[in-house]
Structure 1
Protein backbone atom coordinates (compact mmCIF):
# COMPACT_ATOMS: atom_id res chain seq x y z
CA UNK A 1 0.00 0.00 0.00
CA UNK A 2 2.82 2.41 0.84
CA UNK A 3 4.40 1.70 -2.54
CA UNK A 4 1.17 2.53 -4.34
CA UNK A 5 0.85 5.75 -2.36
CA UNK A 6 4.38 6.84 -3.21
CA UNK A 7 3.77 5.98 -6.88
CA UNK A 8 1.34 8.86 -7.38
CA UNK A 9 1.89 11.06 -4.32
CA UNK A 10 4.63 13.07 -6.03
CA UNK A 11 2.14 14.06 -8.74
CA UNK A 12 -0.82 14.71 -6.46
CA UNK A 13 0.99 16.82 -3.87
CA UNK A 14 1.78 19.85 -6.08
CA UNK A 15 -1.74 19.85 -7.50
CA UNK A 16 -3.28 19.68 -4.05
CA UNK A 17 -1.08 22.45 -2.73
CA UNK A 18 -2.02 24.73 -5.62
CA UNK A 19 -5.70 23.75 -5.30
CA UNK A 20 -5.81 23.20 -9.09
CA UNK A 21 -8.89 20.95 -9.41
CA UNK A 22 -8.31 19.71 -12.96
CA UNK A 23 -4.68 18.80 -12.32
CA UNK A 24 -5.55 16.97 -9.12
CA UNK A 25 -8.52 15.28 -10.79
CA UNK A 26 -6.23 13.89 -13.48
CA UNK A 27 -4.14 12.15 -10.85
CA UNK A 28 -7.31 10.90 -9.16
CA UNK A 29 -8.10 9.06 -12.38
CA UNK A 30 -4.73 7.30 -12.04
CA UNK A 31 -5.65 6.39 -8.47
CA UNK A 32 -8.93 4.91 -9.71
CA UNK A 33 -7.16 2.86 -12.35
CA UNK A 34 -4.82 1.42 -9.72
CA UNK A 35 -7.76 0.67 -7.41
CA UNK A 36 -9.80 -1.09 -10.10
CA UNK A 37 -7.11 -2.69 -12.24
CA UNK A 38 -4.49 -3.34 -9.56
CA UNK A 39 -0.81 -2.51 -9.51
CA UNK A 40 2.02 -5.06 -9.25
CA UNK A 41 1.29 -7.00 -6.02
CA UNK A 42 -1.75 -4.85 -5.19
CA UNK A 43 -4.77 -6.80 -6.55
CA UNK A 44 -7.56 -4.92 -8.27
CA UNK A 45 -11.15 -4.57 -7.12
CA UNK A 46 -12.58 -7.46 -9.12
CA UNK A 47 -10.05 -9.96 -7.78
CA UNK A 48 -10.65 -8.80 -4.22
CA UNK A 49 -14.42 -9.05 -4.67
CA UNK A 50 -14.30 -12.55 -6.16
CA UNK A 51 -11.93 -13.74 -3.45
CA UNK A 52 -14.37 -12.69 -0.74
CA UNK A 53 -17.32 -14.14 -2.64
CA UNK A 54 -15.61 -17.53 -2.77
CA UNK A 55 -15.18 -17.43 1.02
CA UNK A 56 -18.83 -16.61 1.73
CA UNK A 57 -20.77 -19.44 -0.03
CA UNK A 58 -21.65 -17.04 -2.86
CA UNK A 59 -23.55 -14.78 -0.45
CA UNK A 60 -23.13 -11.33 -2.02
CA UNK A 61 -24.01 -9.35 1.11
CA UNK A 62 -21.57 -11.29 3.27
CA UNK A 63 -18.90 -10.73 0.65
CA UNK A 64 -19.62 -6.98 0.63
CA UNK A 65 -19.42 -6.86 4.42
CA UNK A 66 -16.07 -8.64 4.28
CA UNK A 67 -14.79 -6.22 1.62
CA UNK A 68 -15.73 -3.24 3.79
CA UNK A 69 -14.13 -4.77 6.90
CA UNK A 70 -10.90 -5.49 5.01
CA UNK A 71 -10.63 -1.95 3.70
CA UNK A 72 -11.42 -0.38 7.07
CA UNK A 73 -8.39 -2.24 8.40
CA UNK A 74 -6.28 -1.20 5.41
CA UNK A 75 -7.30 2.43 5.84
CA UNK A 76 -6.44 2.32 9.52
CA UNK A 77 -3.03 0.78 8.86
CA UNK A 78 -2.04 3.26 6.16
CA UNK A 79 -3.48 6.13 8.20
CA UNK A 80 -1.42 5.13 11.22
CA UNK A 81 1.76 4.72 9.19
CA UNK A 82 1.48 8.13 7.54
CA UNK A 83 0.41 10.04 10.66
CA UNK A 84 2.91 8.87 13.30
CA UNK A 85 5.24 11.67 14.25
CA UNK A 86 2.68 14.45 14.27
CA UNK A 87 3.72 17.72 12.74
CA UNK A 88 7.27 16.52 12.09
CA UNK A 89 6.10 14.25 9.26
CA UNK A 90 3.18 16.30 7.95
CA UNK A 91 4.90 17.76 4.84
CA UNK A 92 5.58 14.21 3.58
CA UNK A 93 2.73 12.30 5.22
CA UNK A 94 -0.21 14.31 3.98
CA UNK A 95 0.23 13.63 0.24
CA UNK A 96 0.94 9.95 0.89
CA UNK A 97 -2.08 9.69 3.16
CA UNK A 98 -4.29 11.45 0.63
CA UNK A 99 -3.27 9.04 -2.10
CA UNK A 100 -3.28 5.89 0.01
CA UNK A 101 -6.73 6.61 1.41
CA UNK A 102 -8.14 7.32 -2.06
CA UNK A 103 -6.77 4.01 -3.40
CA UNK A 104 -8.14 2.01 -0.47
CA UNK A 105 -11.58 3.58 -0.55
CA UNK A 106 -11.90 3.51 -4.35
CA UNK A 107 -11.01 -0.19 -4.48
CA UNK A 108 -13.56 -0.93 -1.75
CA UNK A 109 -16.35 0.88 -3.59
CA UNK A 110 -15.38 -0.69 -6.92
CA UNK A 111 -15.41 -4.16 -5.35
CA UNK A 112 -18.91 -3.49 -3.99
CA UNK A 113 -20.02 -2.33 -7.44
CA UNK A 114 -18.64 -5.51 -9.02
CA UNK A 115 -20.43 -7.70 -6.49
CA UNK A 116 -23.66 -5.88 -7.27
CA UNK A 117 -23.35 -6.63 -10.98
CA UNK A 118 -21.82 -3.43 -12.39
CA UNK A 119 -19.23 -3.51 -15.17
CA UNK A 120 -16.06 -1.83 -13.86
CA UNK A 121 -14.88 -1.23 -17.42
CA UNK A 122 -17.88 1.04 -18.00
CA UNK A 123 -16.80 4.70 -17.61
CA UNK A 124 -20.20 5.54 -16.10
CA UNK A 125 -19.59 3.04 -13.33
CA UNK A 126 -16.12 4.42 -12.72
CA UNK A 127 -17.56 7.90 -12.32
CA UNK A 128 -20.13 6.50 -9.88
CA UNK A 129 -17.35 4.83 -7.88
CA UNK A 130 -15.56 8.16 -7.53
CA UNK A 131 -18.82 9.87 -6.54
CA UNK A 132 -19.27 7.45 -3.65
CA UNK A 133 -15.98 8.69 -2.18
CA UNK A 134 -17.82 11.89 -1.24
CA UNK A 135 -19.87 9.88 1.24
CA UNK A 136 -23.57 10.25 1.93
CA UNK A 137 -23.30 13.66 3.59
CA UNK A 138 -21.00 14.96 0.87
CA UNK A 139 -23.31 13.85 -1.94
CA UNK A 140 -26.45 15.10 -0.18
CA UNK A 141 -24.90 18.49 0.51
CA UNK A 142 -23.76 18.91 -3.09
CA UNK A 143 -27.14 17.86 -4.44
CA UNK A 144 -28.78 20.55 -2.32
CA UNK A 145 -26.30 23.14 -3.56
CA UNK A 146 -26.62 21.87 -7.15
CA UNK A 147 -22.84 21.45 -7.40
CA UNK A 148 -23.55 17.78 -8.15
CA UNK A 149 -26.47 16.98 -10.49
CA UNK A 150 -27.37 13.44 -9.45
CA UNK A 151 -26.64 10.36 -7.35
CA UNK A 152 -24.04 7.59 -7.84
CA UNK A 153 -26.77 5.14 -8.89
CA UNK A 154 -28.15 7.52 -11.51
CA UNK A 155 -24.63 8.13 -12.83
CA UNK A 156 -23.87 4.40 -13.09
CA UNK A 157 -27.11 3.68 -14.93
CA UNK A 158 -27.26 6.79 -17.13
CA UNK A 159 -28.01 6.26 -20.84
CA UNK A 160 -24.60 7.61 -21.90
CA UNK A 161 -21.27 8.55 -20.36
CA UNK A 162 -20.89 12.28 -19.61
CA UNK A 163 -17.20 13.37 -19.71
CA UNK A 164 -18.02 16.79 -18.26
CA UNK A 165 -19.80 15.22 -15.29
CA UNK A 166 -16.84 12.89 -14.82
CA UNK A 167 -14.45 15.87 -14.57
CA UNK A 168 -16.82 17.68 -12.22
CA UNK A 169 -17.10 14.69 -9.88
CA UNK A 170 -13.34 14.10 -9.86
CA UNK A 171 -12.66 17.72 -8.93
CA UNK A 172 -15.26 17.61 -6.15
CA UNK A 173 -13.76 14.41 -4.72
CA UNK A 174 -10.21 15.77 -4.73
CA UNK A 175 -11.44 18.87 -2.91
CA UNK A 176 -13.23 16.70 -0.36
CA UNK A 177 -10.16 14.53 0.25
CA UNK A 178 -7.99 17.60 0.77
CA UNK A 179 -10.54 18.99 3.23
CA UNK A 180 -10.56 15.73 5.19
CA UNK A 181 -6.79 15.65 5.40
CA UNK A 182 -6.76 19.28 6.52
CA UNK A 183 -9.26 18.42 9.23
CA UNK A 184 -7.11 15.54 10.41
CA UNK A 185 -4.15 17.91 10.57
CA UNK A 186 -5.92 19.84 13.33
CA UNK A 187 -6.26 16.65 15.35
CA UNK A 188 -2.57 15.89 14.88
CA UNK A 189 -1.65 19.36 16.11
CA UNK A 190 -3.50 18.66 19.36
CA UNK A 191 -1.80 15.27 19.85
CA UNK A 192 1.72 16.17 18.71
CA UNK A 193 3.20 16.05 22.24
CA UNK A 194 1.96 12.52 22.94
CA UNK A 195 4.08 9.74 21.36
CA UNK A 196 2.13 7.54 18.89
CA UNK A 197 -1.15 9.31 19.64
CA UNK A 198 -1.01 11.11 16.30
CA UNK A 199 -0.88 7.73 14.58
CA UNK A 200 -3.88 6.52 16.55
CA UNK A 201 -5.84 9.60 15.52
CA UNK A 202 -4.90 9.09 11.87
CA UNK A 203 -5.90 5.42 11.97
CA UNK A 204 -9.21 6.18 13.66
CA UNK A 205 -10.19 8.98 11.31
CA UNK A 206 -9.30 7.05 8.15
CA UNK A 207 -10.95 3.85 9.38
CA UNK A 208 -14.16 5.66 10.31
CA UNK A 209 -14.41 7.55 7.01
CA UNK A 210 -13.84 4.29 5.13
CA UNK A 211 -16.61 2.61 7.09
CA UNK A 212 -19.03 5.44 6.29
CA UNK A 213 -18.17 5.36 2.59
CA UNK A 214 -18.51 1.57 2.50
CA UNK A 215 -21.97 1.78 4.07
CA UNK A 216 -23.00 4.47 1.60
CA UNK A 217 -21.78 2.50 -1.41
CA UNK A 218 -23.54 -0.61 -0.11
CA UNK A 219 -26.81 1.33 0.15
CA UNK A 220 -26.44 3.33 -3.07
CA UNK A 221 -25.25 0.74 -5.58
CA UNK A 222 -28.25 -1.55 -5.59
CA UNK A 223 -28.19 -4.86 -7.42
CA UNK A 224 -27.82 -4.38 -11.17
CA UNK A 225 -29.64 -6.87 -13.37
CA UNK A 226 -28.01 -6.83 -16.77
CA UNK A 227 -30.41 -7.26 -19.63
CA UNK A 228 -29.21 -9.09 -22.72
CA UNK A 229 -28.82 -6.98 -25.84
CA UNK A 230 -31.60 -7.69 -28.27
CA UNK A 231 -30.51 -8.79 -31.78
Structure 2
Protein backbone atom coordinates (compact mmCIF):
# COMPACT_ATOMS: atom_id res chain seq x y z
CA UNK A 1 0.00 0.00 0.00
CA UNK A 2 1.33 3.43 -0.90
CA UNK A 3 1.78 5.99 1.79
CA UNK A 4 0.45 9.53 1.51
CA UNK A 5 3.68 10.82 2.93
CA UNK A 6 5.13 12.43 -0.19
CA UNK A 7 3.05 15.54 0.26
CA UNK A 8 2.65 16.01 -3.49
CA UNK A 9 0.24 18.67 -4.68
CA UNK A 10 -0.92 18.41 -8.27
CA UNK A 11 -1.70 22.14 -8.35
CA UNK A 12 1.90 23.00 -7.48
CA UNK A 13 4.02 23.30 -10.65
CA UNK A 14 7.19 22.27 -8.85
CA UNK A 15 5.51 19.15 -7.49
CA UNK A 16 4.33 18.37 -11.03
CA UNK A 17 7.95 18.43 -12.15
CA UNK A 18 9.00 16.15 -9.29
CA UNK A 19 6.16 13.72 -10.04
CA UNK A 20 7.08 13.61 -13.74
CA UNK A 21 10.76 12.97 -12.97
CA UNK A 22 9.95 10.20 -10.47
CA UNK A 23 7.39 8.59 -12.80
CA UNK A 24 9.76 8.70 -15.79
CA UNK A 25 12.68 7.35 -13.76
CA UNK A 26 10.78 4.56 -12.04
CA UNK A 27 8.26 3.49 -14.69
CA UNK A 28 10.32 4.31 -17.79
CA UNK A 29 9.63 6.67 -20.67
CA UNK A 30 9.68 5.81 -24.37
CA UNK A 31 13.00 4.09 -24.99
CA UNK A 32 13.95 4.31 -21.32
CA UNK A 33 13.01 0.99 -19.64
CA UNK A 34 11.56 0.84 -16.14
CA UNK A 35 13.98 0.82 -13.22
CA UNK A 36 12.85 -2.70 -12.34
CA UNK A 37 13.68 -3.90 -15.86
CA UNK A 38 17.08 -2.19 -15.75
CA UNK A 39 17.82 -3.83 -12.39
CA UNK A 40 16.69 -7.25 -13.63
CA UNK A 41 18.75 -7.03 -16.83
CA UNK A 42 21.98 -6.07 -15.07
CA UNK A 43 21.50 -8.56 -12.23
CA UNK A 44 21.09 -11.39 -14.74
CA UNK A 45 24.57 -10.66 -16.14
CA UNK A 46 26.34 -9.95 -12.83
CA UNK A 47 27.87 -12.22 -10.21
CA UNK A 48 26.12 -10.40 -7.34
CA UNK A 49 23.98 -7.39 -6.44
CA UNK A 50 26.91 -5.02 -5.91
CA UNK A 51 28.39 -5.86 -9.31
CA UNK A 52 24.96 -5.30 -10.85
CA UNK A 53 24.73 -1.87 -9.20
CA UNK A 54 28.15 -0.86 -10.52
CA UNK A 55 27.12 -2.14 -13.95
CA UNK A 56 23.94 -0.03 -13.93
CA UNK A 57 25.87 3.11 -13.00
CA UNK A 58 28.58 2.49 -15.62
CA UNK A 59 26.07 1.73 -18.38
CA UNK A 60 23.83 4.69 -17.61
CA UNK A 61 26.83 7.03 -17.39
CA UNK A 62 28.02 5.92 -20.84
CA UNK A 63 24.48 6.19 -22.21
CA UNK A 64 24.14 9.76 -20.95
CA UNK A 65 27.40 10.76 -22.64
CA UNK A 66 26.12 9.63 -26.04
CA UNK A 67 24.33 12.00 -28.37
CA UNK A 68 20.71 11.34 -29.16
CA UNK A 69 19.68 9.78 -25.86
CA UNK A 70 17.19 12.61 -25.35
CA UNK A 71 15.32 11.89 -28.58
CA UNK A 72 15.51 8.20 -27.75
CA UNK A 73 13.36 8.69 -24.67
CA UNK A 74 10.29 9.60 -26.68
CA UNK A 75 7.31 11.44 -25.25
CA UNK A 76 9.50 13.95 -23.50
CA UNK A 77 7.95 16.82 -25.45
CA UNK A 78 4.69 16.19 -23.59
CA UNK A 79 6.13 17.33 -20.27
CA UNK A 80 3.58 19.19 -18.09
CA UNK A 81 6.05 21.99 -17.37
CA UNK A 82 8.69 24.15 -18.96
CA UNK A 83 12.31 23.41 -18.17
CA UNK A 84 14.94 22.68 -20.84
CA UNK A 85 14.26 19.34 -22.53
CA UNK A 86 17.88 18.30 -22.17
CA UNK A 87 17.80 18.92 -18.43
CA UNK A 88 14.51 17.05 -18.05
CA UNK A 89 16.03 14.09 -19.89
CA UNK A 90 19.06 14.17 -17.59
CA UNK A 91 16.79 14.20 -14.54
CA UNK A 92 14.78 11.25 -15.89
CA UNK A 93 17.94 9.23 -16.60
CA UNK A 94 19.42 10.12 -13.21
CA UNK A 95 16.21 9.07 -11.47
CA UNK A 96 16.14 5.83 -13.50
CA UNK A 97 19.68 5.04 -12.37
CA UNK A 98 18.95 5.79 -8.71
CA UNK A 99 15.69 3.81 -8.78
CA UNK A 100 17.43 0.79 -10.33
CA UNK A 101 20.01 0.91 -7.52
CA UNK A 102 17.21 1.13 -4.94
CA UNK A 103 15.45 -1.82 -6.56
CA UNK A 104 18.62 -3.92 -6.49
CA UNK A 105 19.04 -3.13 -2.80
CA UNK A 106 15.54 -4.47 -2.11
CA UNK A 107 13.56 -1.24 -1.67
CA UNK A 108 9.96 -0.77 -2.81
CA UNK A 109 10.55 1.89 -5.47
CA UNK A 110 6.82 2.49 -5.88
CA UNK A 111 6.36 3.67 -2.31
CA UNK A 112 6.11 7.43 -1.79
CA UNK A 113 9.01 7.37 0.65
CA UNK A 114 11.42 5.69 -1.76
CA UNK A 115 10.25 7.92 -4.64
CA UNK A 116 11.34 10.88 -2.53
CA UNK A 117 14.70 9.23 -1.81
CA UNK A 118 15.19 8.66 -5.56
CA UNK A 119 14.63 12.36 -6.18
CA UNK A 120 17.10 13.19 -3.41
CA UNK A 121 19.80 11.38 -5.39
CA UNK A 122 19.47 14.02 -8.12
CA UNK A 123 20.95 16.68 -5.86
CA UNK A 124 23.89 14.60 -4.65
CA UNK A 125 25.54 15.48 -1.36
CA UNK A 126 22.94 18.21 -0.83
CA UNK A 127 20.35 15.43 -0.69
CA UNK A 128 22.36 13.58 1.93
CA UNK A 129 22.64 16.78 3.96
CA UNK A 130 18.86 17.25 3.80
CA UNK A 131 18.44 13.73 5.20
CA UNK A 132 20.89 14.46 8.00
CA UNK A 133 19.04 17.64 8.99
CA UNK A 134 15.88 15.52 9.16
CA UNK A 135 17.66 13.18 11.58
CA UNK A 136 18.12 10.38 9.03
CA UNK A 137 21.55 8.73 8.97
CA UNK A 138 22.90 7.89 5.52
CA UNK A 139 24.89 4.72 4.91
CA UNK A 140 23.57 2.51 7.69
CA UNK A 141 21.67 -0.73 7.40
CA UNK A 142 19.00 0.83 9.58
CA UNK A 143 17.91 3.11 6.76
CA UNK A 144 15.92 0.49 4.88
CA UNK A 145 13.73 -0.26 7.88
CA UNK A 146 13.47 3.32 9.09
CA UNK A 147 12.36 4.88 5.79
CA UNK A 148 8.81 3.65 6.37
CA UNK A 149 8.75 5.18 9.85
CA UNK A 150 9.67 8.73 8.80
CA UNK A 151 6.75 11.12 9.51
CA UNK A 152 4.85 12.43 6.48
CA UNK A 153 5.59 16.05 7.37
CA UNK A 154 9.31 15.33 7.03
CA UNK A 155 8.79 14.09 3.47
CA UNK A 156 6.72 17.17 2.64
CA UNK A 157 9.64 19.37 3.69
CA UNK A 158 12.14 17.16 1.87
CA UNK A 159 10.10 17.39 -1.34
CA UNK A 160 9.98 21.17 -1.08
CA UNK A 161 13.76 21.34 -0.68
CA UNK A 162 14.33 18.97 -3.62
CA UNK A 163 12.03 21.06 -5.82
CA UNK A 164 13.86 24.25 -4.88
CA UNK A 165 17.28 22.72 -5.64
CA UNK A 166 16.20 21.29 -9.00
CA UNK A 167 14.53 24.50 -10.15
CA UNK A 168 17.62 26.44 -9.10
CA UNK A 169 19.75 24.04 -11.14
CA UNK A 170 17.43 24.52 -14.14
CA UNK A 171 17.93 28.27 -13.88
CA UNK A 172 21.71 28.17 -13.68
CA UNK A 173 23.36 29.66 -16.72
CA UNK A 174 26.92 28.25 -17.01
CA UNK A 175 26.64 25.22 -19.26
CA UNK A 176 23.63 26.57 -21.19
CA UNK A 177 25.46 29.78 -22.12
CA UNK A 178 28.57 27.89 -23.26
CA UNK A 179 26.41 25.67 -25.46
CA UNK A 180 24.77 28.74 -27.05
CA UNK A 181 28.07 30.50 -27.65
CA UNK A 182 29.86 27.44 -29.05
CA UNK A 183 27.14 25.44 -30.83
CA UNK A 184 29.60 23.00 -32.43
CA UNK A 185 30.82 21.95 -28.99
CA UNK A 186 27.34 22.01 -27.51
CA UNK A 187 26.72 18.29 -27.94
CA UNK A 188 30.05 17.34 -26.43
CA UNK A 189 29.68 19.69 -23.45
CA UNK A 190 26.10 18.55 -22.90
CA UNK A 191 27.07 14.88 -23.05
CA UNK A 192 29.94 15.37 -20.61
CA UNK A 193 27.69 17.28 -18.22
CA UNK A 194 24.99 14.60 -18.45
CA UNK A 195 27.40 11.72 -17.85
CA UNK A 196 28.92 13.40 -14.78
CA UNK A 197 25.44 14.18 -13.45
CA UNK A 198 24.07 10.66 -13.96
CA UNK A 199 27.21 9.08 -12.50
CA UNK A 200 26.79 11.28 -9.41
CA UNK A 201 23.15 10.20 -9.06
CA UNK A 202 24.19 6.55 -9.11
CA UNK A 203 26.96 7.03 -6.55
CA UNK A 204 24.62 8.94 -4.24
CA UNK A 205 22.02 6.18 -4.59
CA UNK A 206 24.64 3.62 -3.52
CA UNK A 207 25.14 5.57 -0.28
CA UNK A 208 21.50 6.40 0.40
CA UNK A 209 20.00 3.00 -0.40
CA UNK A 210 21.97 0.76 1.93
- Shorter-chain TM-score: which interval? 0.7 to 0.9
Higher percent of residues as helix: 1
Structure 1 window deviating more from structure 2 (195-204 vs 163-172): it is 163-172
Structure 1 window deviating more from structure 2 (156-165 vs 94-103): it is 156-165
For the structure 1 residues 28 and 128, does the alpha-carbon distance in structure 2 shift closer, same or farther, using more than 3 Å as the test? Answer: same
What's the counterpart of residue 14 of structure 1? none
What's the counterpart of residue 4 of structure 1? none
> How big is the alpha-carbon RMSD for the aligned residues of Structure 1 and Structure 2?
3.1
* Mapped pair 1:211 → 2:206: no
Higher relative contact order (CA 8 A, sep 6+): 2
* Mapped pair 1:150 → 2:136: yes
Gaps of at least 5 residues in structure 1 are 1-20, 83-92, 223-231
**Deviations for 1:95-136, whole angstroms, at most 9, x for unmatched residues?**
212321121111111100111111223222222212222211
Correspondence for 1:202 among 164, 187, 190: 190
When the two structures are aligned, how many residues end up with a matched partner? 188
Given that residues 78 and 101 in structure 1 are in contact (C-alpha distance below 8 angstroms), is that contact kept between their aligned partners in structure 2?
Answer: no
Report the TM-score when normalising by structure 2: 0.73
- Structure 1 residue ranges, 4+ long, deviating more than 4 angstroms after superposition: 78-82, 151-156
By how many angstroms is 1:149 displaced?
Answer: 5.1
Correspondence for 1:29 among 19, 24, 34: 19
Given that residues 68 and 108 in structure 1 are in contact (C-alpha distance below 8 angstroms), is that contact kept between their aligned partners in structure 2?
Answer: yes
* Mapped pair 1:98 → 2:84: no
CA distance in 2, matches of 1:155, 1:131: 15
CA distance in 2, matches of 1:200, 1:40: 23
By how many angstroms is 1:55 displaced?
Answer: 1.0
Given that residues 79 and 206 in structure 1 are in contact (C-alpha distance below 8 angstroms), is that contact kept between their aligned partners in structure 2?
Answer: no
**Deviations for 1:10-58, whole angstroms, at most 9, x for unmatched residues?**
xxxxxxxxxxx9321233113212221224543210110010000113x
By how many angstroms is 1:80 displaced?
Answer: 8.3
For the structure 1 residues 30 and 181, does the alpha-carbon distance in structure 2 shift closer, same or farther, using more than 3 Å as the test? Answer: closer
